[in-house]
Amino acid sequence: MYAVFEPVSIGPLKARNRIVRSATWLGLADPGGKVTDEQVERYRELGQGGAGVVITGYAAVSPEGRQAPRMLGAWDDGHVEGLARLAGVIREGGALAGAQLVHAGGQTRSAWTGGLAPVAPSFVDHPQFPEMPREMSAEQIARVVADFGKAARRVRDAGFDFVQLHAAHGYLINQFLSPGTNQRADAYGGTLRNRFRFLAEVMAAVQAAAGPDFPVAVKLNGCDFVPQGLEEDEAVQVAEWLAQRGVAFVEVSGGTPASGDRGPARAGVRPGEGEAYLRHLAAAVKRRVGCPVALVGGLRRIETLEDLLIEGTADLFSLSRPLIWEPDLPARWASGDRASARCVSCNGCFGPGWKGEGVRCVVKEEQETPTSSSGTGRRAGL
């Protein structure tokens, strides 16, 4: 049995193994952010799929914080009942259930927020998004901080084991951390300590609202890979400050929509080719913090996970796209089937989501679709 499949402690929690289903937008909530039956069945599969931890796709803490169609919500008490269904099926499958919270900041458009204008730390253009965000006032900052706390309480009330704050991929917390998107001259801008202030206040609000015994994890960019973005040395310092504040674990990611081919979900990863492309960032964080560190990005072979564990790069290993094709991949590996993940890193899975049809593996669908009389297969959803 691989050491990856031994039980591991995460703060007061114990996971059955070190594999994490990294939070992934599925695009299956209803227009108001409420959970649907199809969403529940997806998480039932993931809970039963053998991962030690399953984190739900990002849930917006405020209506203007939504970033995509049919995105989960956690900004209203009416969301709790559906969230409880997700936590229930994940835990029934034997995995720890985590809920990720986010505010998109300037990385959105009013068509996705019900007409609400995007807001951000500063009046700075986000090239991949057409609307210039409004600079947040001190009062707006305080409201969003409180929104994170209220959302965390709802997550706790829904029965999740922990909450994860999304501080990566160019969303609002990351925008405060990055000197390129945070050009404020007040207490929230300038030095790294000031740029960290928003995340520190969010974490404190979450801990106060959800209780000191409710674990808080953070997904953090180890590097933004953009000019004037958050760099590795600053990210390591942020991780150290989070550890001092009792973070349950730090999941190290990297990149934003503006990072080009160095974005969070890199294409063309193959077993043994381009795997674990953020391992150096996780290793840098691991050297400085005492809390568990999770690595995400291009993990395709069980041997890769075992090597990373032995060399001390990370404690937990987060997979996203491979579990869209194979939600039971961890169970397959645990059974002794060592074949690599079937995912080909084409990113075609997200296309149906942007069409409002839900994220799904179109390559798997193509392979499972009967060929026509001419022998030509059809790729669904493209």
Residues with a catalytic annotation lie at: 171
DSSP-derived secondary structure for 40-100: HHHHHHHHHTT-SEEEEEEEESSGGG--STT-EE-SSGGGHHHHHHHHHHHHHTT-EEEEE
- What is the C-alpha separation between 31 and 356, in angstroms, rounded? 10
- Would you say 277 and 298 are in contact if contact means Cβ atoms under 8 Å apart? yes
Please name the residues in contact with 335: beta carbons below 8 A apart, sequence gap of 6 or more: none
| Secondary structure class of 134 (helix, strand, coil) | strand
- What is the C-alpha separation between 298 and 278, in angstroms, rounded? 8
- What is the C-alpha separation between 274 and 278, in angstroms, rounded? 10
Which helix (H) or strand (E) segment holds residue 14: the answer is strand 13-15
- Integer angstrom CA distances of residue 61 from 113, 126, 275, 319: 12, 21, 33, 24
- Would you say 52 and 92 are in contact if contact means Cβ atoms under 8 Å apart? no
